[in-house]
């Protein structure tokens, strides 16, 4: 098989061998052959009818046979085309058959004086198109050799003269005439070979250049598309009427709408905060901040809007780059709350000690008066109110001091799972008995953290107390403790079954003195945040009107436990 391939490669001139383009060219070659053959048949019939008035002339019978043969060959070529492995060799074989066929036609139609001698141009042009210059010159040479041998054989009587009656008027077979015929035909063959191959090669180079440019353009387009798709921010482009023309995948995800639904929508319908219209001159770049509801979530977005214009300044539309900055806003909010707490700590740190001393004296004096058996019950009741409110103020100041001292927590290794079970048990005994509230727990054992036991217990108690205040009588509180080795954190979740946090205070629940309770002080959650941050943890809150509120506390696992679980 390799020897055959080498012979074919050596004989077959240069040019494409296979592929869709080559197949299309071979199909055109077969179609053109049929057209030329049909023309040959029509010309023969025309000459016969003009000279003899009949199409049945003995001299024309060989030509009819040749025409029928070429139609039969064309049918065989068409049937063989789907199974031919080497289209280059197949096309070259057809062209060589065409050259031989043309030589036979020329012989039967008068030889040197045949009016069909220029049919040689057809296989030469086909070779130039399919096999370029080398193929065209090769076929032109073969055509010249066969045509020259035909004329020489006829002149010397090797081949009998044909009976073709319609020879050209200059058909005297003299040596000068034959030489002139050969020179003219050889020149035409050479010119046609060079011209057809040059045009074919130029078209091939142009086609290859266009294909390379198309490939480069496609690669560049794919690169730009991949870049736009991979950008973590949302991108929207609009036309000059501010209607959406494109949204990337990230943008559709942030908006919560599919691309077909966004196309042609007015930009103001998606982001009403953006002003209408483009800048009259120059390029405008503006930044907006908005909050958009996606499902049950509220997403904070930051938008950057730029004008899109042509080089001559003609408006093309606008470009909107937007991103979800909810986490950043939460971090900013935490920083703001922490700054408020720091100011709160600085103010109350000095006040707490100063107030507790006279408060203790007032309570002591009231208790002495109450024990001295006052004459009136009303006086004793009033002194009881004084003592009770003094205790309440003292408890409030104690919470203040815990908030201050939590910044300097003395950390020790402790089992958070045991502490959570203990806190939940005490809490259930207190609130469960008074309000018929049950606590369902799922606490993983062996979860260890580093921290101050009393402060962490107080933070857990405050979270449970806050959940109990939000849960109606007979409700259920879910408490879950688990560890996450990947993040290296212990996670304590408390889910109530209440109405959720009102929107007007949702962003301020960790600020001091923020509360919705009638007798609440508003420092419970502030204390939780202060304690957890002092232990290098975080507090997250999720709330919905129908699903209650979920508080999530994350504390770093003890180092040894983190290493063991990661291992």
| pLDDT (0 to 100) of residue 298 | 72
Query: CA 235 to CA 27: how far, in whole Å?
Result: 48
Is the pTM higher than 0.85?
A: no
Q: DSSP for 118-174?
A: GGGHHHHHHHHHHHHHHHHHHHHHHHHHHHHHHHHHHHTTSSPPP------TT----
302-339 confidence digits (pLDDT tens): 888 888 877 777 778 888 888 888 778 777 777 776 66
Helix (H, G, I), strand (E, B) or coil at 246: strand
CB-based burial, 222-257: b 16+ in 10 Å, e otherwise: eeeeeeeeeeeebbbbbeeebebeebbebbbebbee
**Bridge partners of 448?**
415
Element (H, E) at 183: helix 175-230
Contact criterion met (CB below 8 Å) for 546 and 539:
no
Question: Are 534 and 411 a contacting pair, CB within 8 Å?
Answer: no
Q: Residue 17: what pLDDT?
A: 60
| pLDDT of res. 169 | 47
Class of residue 369 by CB neighbours under 10 A (exposed 0-12, middle 13-18, buried 19+): middle
**pLDDT of the residue at 563:** 47
Task: Quote the CA–CA distance of 233 and 251 in Å, as a whole number.
Answer: 7
For 138-175, letters b (16+ CB in 10 Å) and e give bbbebbbebbeebbeebbeeeeeebebebbeeeeeeee
Could you give the CA distance from residue 391 to residue 362 in angstroms, rounded to a whole number? 11
Q: Structure tokens of 73?
A: 């060959």
Quote the pLDDT of residue 51: 59
Q: Tell me the CA distances in angstroms from 389 to 204, 210, 382, 385, 514, one per residue in order.
A: 100, 91, 11, 6, 21
- For the chain, list residues with pLDDT below 50: 1-5, 8, 169-171, 279-282, 562-567
The reported pLDDT for the residue numbered 2 is 47
Reference 226, options 242, 249, 255; nearest CA is 249
Q: What per-residue confidence (pLDDT) applies to 210?
A: 83
What's the pLDDT at 326?
78
Q: Do residues 507 and 333 touch, judged by C-beta distance below 8 A?
A: yes
pLDDT value of position 567: 44
Q: What is the pLDDT of residue 49?
A: 59
Q: Is 115 exposed, middle or buried (0-12, 13-18, 19+ CB in 10 A)?
A: middle
CB crowding 46-55: b at 16 or more within 10 Å, else e: ebbeeeeeee
- pLDDT, residue 44, reads 65
């Amino acid at each position: 098989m390799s020897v055959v391939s080498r012979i074919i490669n050596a004989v077959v001139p240069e040019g494409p061998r296979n592929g869709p383009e080559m197949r299309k060219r071979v199909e055109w070659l077969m179609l053109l052959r049929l057209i030329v053959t049909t023309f040959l048949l029509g010309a023969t019939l025309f000459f016969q009818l003009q000279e003899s008035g009949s199409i049945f002339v003995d001299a024309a019978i060989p030509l009819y046979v040749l025409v029928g043969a070429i139609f039969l060959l064309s049918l065989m070529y068409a049937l063989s085309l789907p199974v031919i492995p080497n289209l280059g060799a197949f096309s070259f074989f057809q062209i060589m058959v065409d050259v031989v066929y043309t030589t036979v036609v020329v012989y039967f139609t008068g030889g040197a004086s045949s009016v069909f001698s220029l049919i040689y141009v057809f296989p030469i042009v086909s070779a130039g198109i399919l096999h370029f210059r080398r193929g065209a010159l090769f076929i032109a040479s073969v055509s010249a050799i066969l045509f020259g041998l035909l004329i020489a054989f006829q002149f010397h009587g090797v081949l009998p003269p044909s009976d073709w009656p319609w020879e050209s008027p200059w058909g005297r077979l003299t040596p000068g005439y034959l030489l002139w015929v050969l020179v003219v035909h050889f020149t035409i063959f050479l010119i046609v070979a060079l011209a057809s191959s040059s045009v074919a090669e130029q078209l091939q180079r142009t086609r290859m250049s266009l294909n390379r440019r198309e490939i480069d353009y496609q690669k560049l387009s794919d690169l730009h598309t991949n870049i736009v798709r991979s950008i973590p921010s949302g991108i929207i482009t609009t036309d000059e009427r501010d209607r959406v023309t494109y949204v990337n995948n990230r943008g559709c995800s942030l908006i919560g709408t599919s691309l077909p639904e966004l196309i042609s929508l007015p930009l103001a319908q998606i982001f009403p905060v953006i002003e209408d219209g483009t800048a009259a001159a120059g390029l405008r770049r503006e930044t907006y901040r908005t909050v958009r509801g996606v499902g049950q979530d509220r997403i904070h977005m930051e938008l950057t809007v730029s004008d899109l214009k042509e080089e001559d300044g003609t408006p093309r539309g606008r470009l909107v780059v937007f991103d979800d900055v909810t986490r950043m806003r939460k971090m900013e909010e935490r920083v703001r709350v922490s700054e408020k707490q720091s100011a709160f700590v600085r103010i109350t740190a000095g006040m707490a000690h100063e107030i507790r001393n006279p408060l203790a004296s007032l309570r002591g004096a009231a208790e002495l008066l109450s024990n001295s058996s006052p004459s009136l019950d009303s006086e004793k009741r009033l002194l009881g109110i004084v003592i009770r409110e003094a205790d309440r103020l003292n408890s409030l100041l104690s919470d203040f001091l815990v908030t201050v001292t939590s910044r300097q927590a003395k950390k020790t290794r402790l089992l958070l799972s045991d502490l959570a079970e203990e806190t939940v048990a005490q809490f259930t005994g207190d609130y469960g008995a008074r309000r018929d509230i049950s606590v369902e727990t799922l606490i993983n054992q062996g979860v260890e953290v580093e921290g101050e036991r009393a402060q962490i217990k107080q933070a857990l108690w405050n979270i449970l107390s806050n959940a109990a205040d939000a849960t109606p009588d007979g409700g259920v509180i879910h408490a879950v403790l688990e560890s996450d080795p990947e993040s290296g954190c212990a996670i304590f979740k408390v889910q109530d079954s209440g109405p959720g946090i009102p929107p007007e205070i949702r962003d301020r629940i960790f600020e001091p003195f923020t509360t919705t309770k009638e007798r609440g002080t508003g420092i419970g959650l502030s204390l939780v945040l202060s304690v957890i941050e002092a232990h290098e943890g975080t507090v997250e809150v999720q709330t919905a009107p129908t699903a209650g509120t979920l508080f999530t506390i994350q504390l770093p696992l003890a180092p040894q436990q983190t290493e063991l679980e990661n291992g």
